[in-house]
A and B are shown apart, each in its own frame.
Chain A
């Protein structure tokens, strides 16, 4: 039982991270019908921005809670900017083009960030400074819960609640939902779709950046290719929950994180990466639009 709880704690913290990244994917898809493959690399950039910021401002030498939040904020803002730049430069010119074209561009941006990262940051793994001292909240011979997974969970929850507030209770959130529903009608209603789209990208990228910092905190090895697989799995999580559906992304992320860890722990760790996809196939066969996705009738 204790081992089960241990794996569960682990699974939930990964689930929260996948959820954070999946939220970005799902928001952008809702607004643009675009699968932004470069999103996982924004997650990587978040970790690196945090790395350089904390070392430059010497926070790394004297970690404080304030320092941690400052780094988190910096990474989120920097990633938001990067997200907006990518959108303006690479995706906006292709707004009216078929989706496959934009997809390829997204793949191109992803490759650019990865290879550029390897060249600029160096391909060697870097050690992310310990911004929050690790303490054990609960320790028994069979179950150890440290504060780090709890921090991940707490920060993720706060960010998700914040996001829900923005989407549901603010004017810009309403505009986002309108553009997601029908872009042309929204612009006819006076919504500045370009700004809304940029804002969506900024928001999604900020969340991915936060995810990067949180992961780097617990698994302090960062390298330019670290976003590849988590990005893909977060995308799977978004589809799992119904792409375009915000609570769905959170649900999908959680399910993915927990099942992955359970399979890795109880069956075999070498099948870890395949679980995400196997799960996806099974669920999509039963619910083709994802768990919380709505069945949109096709107009003839």
Chain B
């Protein structure tokens, strides 16, 4: 019962945020916040694959692209028919139902790709897996370039703007909640064991194949949903946004945050979304924005290579004022 109340309260909180946040926060910063949240979803889902399961995946942008384009095709081509079919419902409900279905279709299609990518992982290790995942991402991108029905090389425009603060915050919270609880469960132990020593894990009876593929599928699912949010926010999808450069940007986020640390990924995602934008304020040396960004990256790696939190989670519970005092021994 208590749990249900908590969920209802959070739901209402998100609805309120959706209503009032655009009025309180300047629209530029709201824009950056939404982009940060999308990056948080991407970083946390990638951390599940790279950080917790130790699988070297460099193709996350491919999952995002598949999810984005599938969901966009869903709303663009089926949206009208569904709206008229569900005409008896209030329009707000219809819109959100369609978007929910689009999110699912995006996540599902990305998950299927995740399955396909997970399979080579059975035979490949380390750098070989990395290049195959990178390759998968590029293959996806080139395939999209050749399909005119989803815009092809010139981009998919005219996507309805269904993304709003409510959806973005809810999905971000959902991703964080799911991955955190997954990692802290017995499944999480299995993921970690695969990362630490695959042979020992197999020897202990862990089905490493199952866990590796599952990590890919779940990570891909959330990335696909992030892609859906992205497309329905910008109302436009272009393959330039899904090159291996994007995959690298997400990798950078989880490494700067600390591989295997969810709070690290969250903070790094926010930081690295805001940083290039903040660098716009450099005035006369604005042209050097990207050069400074790359230098900053190198410097961070040289000075703090383990990232913000290393592979541990800081104990956030000590900040919660309402917890029961832990028993002293």
Please give me the residue from chain B that is nearest to A94 by CB atom.
B305
Bound form: Cα–Cα A48–B290 in Å? 20
Indicate which residue in A232, A280, A298 contacts B244 across the interface (CB closer than 8 Å).
A232
Chain B residues, CB < 8 A from A119: 287-288, 291
Known: A111-B290, A115-B294, A278-B139. A284 touches B124 (CB 8 A): yes
Indicate which residue in B128, B153, B288 contacts A289 across the interface (CB closer than 8 Å).
B128
Bound form: Cα–Cα A249–B279 in Å? 40
Query: Is there contact, CB below 8 Å, between B146 and A268?
Result: yes
Query: Is there contact, CB below 8 Å, between A105 and B291?
Result: no
Query: Is there contact, CB below 8 Å, between B199 and A107?
Result: no
Chain B residues, CB < 8 A from A94: 301-302, 305
Indicate which residue in B134, B298, B301 contacts A112 across the interface (CB closer than 8 Å).
B298
Query: Is there contact, CB below 8 Å, between A277 and B139?
Result: yes
Indicate which residue in A111, A243, A271, A277 contacts B297 across the interface (CB closer than 8 Å).
A111
Interface centre among B153, B297, B305 (most CB of A within 10 A): B305
Indicate which residue in B50, B127, B252 contacts A35 across the interface (CB closer than 8 Å).
B127
Chain A interface size range: 35 or more
Bound form: Cα–Cα A38–B298 in Å? 12
Query: Is there contact, CB below 8 Å, between B131 and A109?
Result: no
B306 to chain A, nearest CB (A): 8
Q: Within 8 Å of chain A (Cβ to Cβ): is B120? A: yes
A-B contact pairs, 5 of them (CB 8 A): A112-B291, A232-B138, A236-B135, A274-B138, A277-B138
Query: Is there contact, CB below 8 Å, between B301 and A105?
Result: yes
Q: 8 Å CB contacts to A: which residues of B126-149?
A: 127-128, 130-132, 134-136, 138-139, 142-143, 145-146
Interface centre among A101, A108, A273, A290 (most CB of B within 10 A): A108
Bound form: Cα–Cα A108–B287 in Å? 18
A110 to chain B, nearest CB (A): 8
Q: 8 Å CB contacts to B: which residues of A249-277?
A: 268, 270-271, 273-274, 276-277
B124 to chain A, nearest CB (A): 5
The DSSP consensus for interface residues of chain A is helix
Please give me the residue from chain B that is nearest to A107 by CB atom.
B248
B215 to chain A, nearest CB (A): 16
The DSSP consensus for interface residues of chain B is helix
Query: Is there contact, CB below 8 Å, between A281 and B135?
Result: yes
Beyond contacts A108-B301, A232-B134: 20 other A-B pairs, Cβ-Cβ < 8 A, are A94-B301, A98-B305, A104-B251, A104-B252, A105-B302, A107-B297, A108-B294, A111-B290, A112-B298, A119-B288, A270-B153, A273-B142, A274-B138, A277-B134, A280-B131, A280-B132, A288-B123, A288-B124, A288-B125, A298-B199
Please give me the residue from chain A that is nearest to B200 by CB atom.
A300
Tell me the A residues contacting B by CB distance below 8 Å.
Answer: 29, 33, 35, 90, 93-94, 97-98, 100-105, 107-109, 111-112, 115-116, 119, 232, 235-236, 239, 243, 268, 270-271, 273-274, 276-278, 280-281, 284-285, 288-290, 298, 300
Query: Is there contact, CB below 8 Å, between B128 and A112?
Result: no
Chain B residues, CB < 8 A from A90: 298, 302
Q: Within 8 Å of chain A (Cβ to Cβ): is B295? A: yes
Indicate which residue in A97, A102, A271, A281 contacts B132 across the interface (CB closer than 8 Å).
A281
Query: Is there contact, CB below 8 Å, between A111 and B294?
Result: yes
Bound form: Cα–Cα A276–B124 in Å? 18
- Residues 103-131 of chain B, each 1 if its beta carbon lies under 8 Å from chain A, else 0: 00000000000000000100111011011
Chain B interface size range: 35 or more
Chain B residues, CB < 8 A from A274: 138-139, 142-143
Bound form: Cα–Cα A232–B247 in Å? 14
Bound form: Cα–Cα A97–B255 in Å? 13
Please give me the residue from chain B that is nearest to A238 by CB atom.
B131
Query: Is there contact, CB below 8 Å, between B290 and A115?
Result: yes
Bound form: Cα–Cα A268–B120 in Å? 27
Known: A100-B255, A235-B131. A284 touches B120 (CB 8 A): yes
Bound form: Cα–Cα A288–B130 in Å? 12
Query: Is there contact, CB below 8 Å, between A112 and B146?
Result: no
B294 to chain A, nearest CB (A): 4
Query: Is there contact, CB below 8 Å, between A300 and B199?
Result: yes
A207 to chain B, nearest CB (A): 20
Please give me the residue from chain B that is nearest to A296 by CB atom.
B125
Bound form: Cα–Cα A277–B56 in Å? 17
Q: Within 8 Å of chain A (Cβ to Cβ): is B65? A: no
A89 to chain B, nearest CB (A): 9
A118 to chain B, nearest CB (A): 8
- Residues 39-53 of chain B, each 1 if its beta carbon lies under 8 Å from chain A, else 0: 000000000001000
Bound form: Cα–Cα A280–B130 in Å? 12
Please give me the residue from chain B that is nearest to A271 by CB atom.
B142
Q: Within 8 Å of chain A (Cβ to Cβ): is B293? A: yes
Query: Is there contact, CB below 8 Å, between A104 and B301?
Result: yes
Bound form: Cα–Cα A284–B130 in Å? 12
Please give me the residue from chain B that is nearest to A274 by CB atom.
B142
Q: Within 8 Å of chain A (Cβ to Cβ): is B259? A: yes
Bound form: Cα–Cα A274–B290 in Å? 28
Bound form: Cα–Cα A285–B124 in Å? 8
7 A-B pairs with the lowest CB-CB distances in the bound complex, closest first: A277-B135, A274-B142, A111-B294, A108-B297, A115-B290, A112-B294, A101-B305
Chain A residues, CB < 8 A from B200: 300
B30 to chain A, nearest CB (A): 28
B311 to chain A, nearest CB (A): 10
Chain A residues, CB < 8 A from B146: 268, 270-271
A56 to chain B, nearest CB (A): 25
Chain B residues, CB < 8 A from A285: 120, 123
Bound form: Cα–Cα A288–B128 in Å? 8
Bound form: Cα–Cα A131–B150 in Å? 44
